[in-house]
Structure 1
Amino acid sequence: MKLTRWRTIAAAFLALLQPALPSALLARQHVAKPQAHPAVWRVQKGNSTVYLFGTIHALPPNFEWETPEVRKVVGSADKLVLEAVIDQDPTKSAAALFKIGMAPGEIAPLAERIDPKYRTALTDLEKKSAVPAATLDKMKTWAAGMVLFGATVQTLGVNSADGVEERLKAEFRAANKPIEGLETLEQQLGFFDTMAEPQQREFLEGVVDQQADDVADFGKMLGAWAHGDEKGIARSFDKDMKKSDALRTVLIARRNAHWADAIVARLNQPGTQLVAVGAGHLVGQDSVQAMLAKLGYQAVRIE
């Protein structure tokens, strides 16, 4: 099972909860200094403009992605709209995860919730986690998976402090421009909480099942994003997700439809807004742009 399955989806959430993840290995993948051209789309209605920008939540240090066109869009925007505005205090984010993610009653130990072939890998990953195994055993399966995902990210050499959102937030704050969210953190976590237990267990197994080529896979995804390669991004994010219609519906399609409705509402406001969400939400058949098209709005790629 590759990173491009459940861990890529979890990254869209957990990277926002991790204030500083270690960096190490991506320099070996020769992706630190690409000639970046990440994709940007424009949606217009009257005197209102919304730019759609697909992001990577966590990046290697010194990864340059702001092209002249991106800088122009950022400079023209009156407001930044993210998936969610996460509190800068990481303890508050962690508290939200534990509030939603703790099992309400007795629950089987985590090792008994996955296929026996993954149990040794689970034990190894638990040792790398900052959360004790006894606490993980009391968590819902999806929540334990998200916590353990933090330990797997250490091998990717990325840092959410270097991610696209953090730089955008810094630029908008410096310009005294407002920053808003399409969702709250509690809503984001709630999407995982709606998954049935079999789906949660498959998610946990995907986190535990680390592969030797995970770093290379992430490098490919990052390269596709940096070059605005929509098909490449879609391959990375959708390779195995397409095997689970239920998870795609919960984590991708349903959220994208909600965001499209929110964007249409924002198009009723004059001015220019930059909507920056994970790149995986802006590619494929369930993309935000596809949802907008169903509502009668065309997103035109400009970069």
Structure 2
Amino acid sequence: MTLISRLLSAVLAITLAACGPAASPPAAARVAQEGHPALWKLADEDTTIYLFGTIHVLPAGYEWRDAAIDAAIDRSDALVIEAVIDRTDPAKAFALLSRLGTTPGLPPLLDRVPADKREQLAALIARSRLPQPFLDGMETWSGALMLMPVLMSDLGLDGGMGVEEQLEARFKADGRPIEGLETAEQQLRVLDGLPEDVQRQFLVAMIDDGTAQKAEFDAMLAAWSRGDEAAIAATFDKDVRVSPELRAALLVRRNAAWADWLKARLDRPGTIFVAVGAGHLAGPASVVRMLEAKGLKVERVQ
């Protein structure tokens, strides 16, 4: 997938809650390839923290759990995810996105991309069925987010089939608590704080390489399902050359904050299951490597 499809998984849940995925035919069920998603463990004498890398949006019917993951889930007293999103109230999510991402007097959204990209952007807008004046009033980052469900539809993805949502349902059914490392507003403010030129890179990336997105997503999904840390990290390393600022904002700085939180969480007894996007746990700037740099032992369970 392109930069946007990979890195924006961090804020995809709030986007889909706000505007809903574009209509599309039901996706065919796909079964995970041979192998198992990666799972790590951070522990001391009285605390165990399982670290699980996720894919935030999956094809319908995709099987990803295995015995090791189920055992870790069953042992955990609580679930921790990137952010807890209220998917039952789309109006609330939309109000948040509008409050942070709307500014009067902006140039038309089409004028914020190079001339040779405008025809593609216009086609994307038409497929979204969103009014052009509405999008023109949005900041570049938020206008891009509003168009993202169209790309998810192209990939045959159902926004309600992500790993986190399945985990939330399981913990809720058992009455176990769920908390977020961030709030939805904190996630959106990461994008809201980007310089305008980076926001425009973000928008252009959404309309580039459309023909390659499906194959790249399938390759990333296969790497995740077999726990291939190097292959997952490689997709993010490729994106550094596109927008290092966006990668730093969405990945590196957040990883550092989460590593600090996890280290501090070791001071509280118990067992928790922490599930964040797989790209946050792979590569040299990952949460795992940052924890190891703090002198902590992180064990690969599978």
In the TM superposition, what are the counterparts of 1:1-80 in structure 2 within 5 Å?
3-18=1-16, 21=21, 27=28, 31-80=30-79
Q: Counterpart of 2:247?
A: 248
Amino acid at match of 1:98: S
Distance 1:16 1:23, change over 3 A: farther
Q: Counterpart of 1:98?
A: 98
Counterpart Cα distance in 2 of 1:259 and 1:275: 10
Counterpart Cα distance in 1 of 2:255 and 2:144: 23
Q: Counterpart of 1:127?
A: 126
- Residue 206 of structure 1 and its aligned partner are, at CA, apart by 0.5
SS at match of 2:105: coil
Counterpart Cα distance in 1 of 2:237 and 2:11: 17
In the TM superposition, what are the counterparts of 1:151-230 in structure 2 within 5 Å?
151-230=150-229
Amino acid at match of 1:134: P
Please say if residues 242 and 248 of structure 1, whose CA atoms lie closer than 8 Å, have aligned partners that are also in contact. no
Please say if residues 57 and 162 of structure 2, whose CA atoms lie closer than 8 Å, have aligned partners that are also in contact. yes
Counterpart Cα distance in 2 of 1:233 and 1:262: 23
* Most deviating of 5-14 and 177-186: 5-14
Please say if residues 101 and 139 of structure 1, whose CA atoms lie closer than 8 Å, have aligned partners that are also in contact. yes
Structure 2 residue runs of 5 or longer lacking an equivalent are none
Counterpart Cα distance in 2 of 1:68 and 1:199: 42
Instruction: Show CA shifts across 1:215-245 (max 9, x none).
Output: 1110001000001011111122331234433
Instruction: Show CA shifts across 1:158-193 (max 9, x none).
Output: 113111011100100011000000000000000001
SS at match of 1:60: coil
Is 1:143 the equivalent of 2:145?
no
Counterpart Cα distance in 2 of 1:52 and 1:232: 18
Structure 1 residue runs of 5 or longer lacking an equivalent are none
- Residue 106 of structure 1 and its aligned partner are, at CA, apart by 1.3
Distance 1:33 1:279, change over 3 A: closer
Amino acid at match of 1:139: M
Counterpart Cα distance in 1 of 2:113 and 2:166: 38
Q: How many correspondences in the alignment?
A: 298
Please say if residues 30 and 61 of structure 2, whose CA atoms lie closer than 8 Å, have aligned partners that are also in contact. no
Distance 1:4 1:218, change over 3 A: same
Counterpart Cα distance in 1 of 2:118 and 2:36: 42
Amino acid at match of 1:166: E
Instruction: Show CA shifts across 1:3-32 (max 9, x none).
Output: 3312221133124532564565974xx953
Amino acid at match of 1:96: L
Please say if residues 25 and 157 of structure 1, whose CA atoms lie closer than 8 Å, have aligned partners that are also in contact. yes
Amino acid at match of 1:92: K
* Most deviating of 125-134 and 18-27: 18-27
Q: Counterpart of 1:87?
A: 86
TM-score of the superposed pair, with normalisation by structure 2: 0.93
Please say if residues 2 and 209 of structure 2, whose CA atoms lie closer than 8 Å, have aligned partners that are also in contact. no
- Residue 67 of structure 1 and its aligned partner are, at CA, apart by 0.5
- Residue 96 of structure 1 and its aligned partner are, at CA, apart by 1.1
Amino acid at match of 2:5: R
* Most deviating of 8-17 and 226-235: 8-17
Please say if residues 24 and 158 of structure 1, whose CA atoms lie closer than 8 Å, have aligned partners that are also in contact. no
Please say if residues 26 and 32 of structure 1, whose CA atoms lie closer than 8 Å, have aligned partners that are also in contact. no
Amino acid at match of 1:163: G
TM-score of the superposed pair, with normalisation by structure 1: 0.93
Please say if residues 16 and 57 of structure 1, whose CA atoms lie closer than 8 Å, have aligned partners that are also in contact. no
How many percent of aligned residue pairs carry the same amino acid? 42
Please say if residues 239 and 247 of structure 2, whose CA atoms lie closer than 8 Å, have aligned partners that are also in contact. no
Amino acid at match of 1:169: E
Counterpart Cα distance in 1 of 2:185 and 2:160: 21
Amino acid at match of 2:265: R
Distance 1:185 1:276, change over 3 A: same
Q: Counterpart of 2:263?
A: 264
SS at match of 2:191: helix
SS at match of 1:18: helix
- Residue 287 of structure 1 and its aligned partner are, at CA, apart by 0.3
SS at match of 2:211: coil
Instruction: Show CA shifts across 1:267-298 (max 9, x none).
Output: 11100011100011111111011111222212
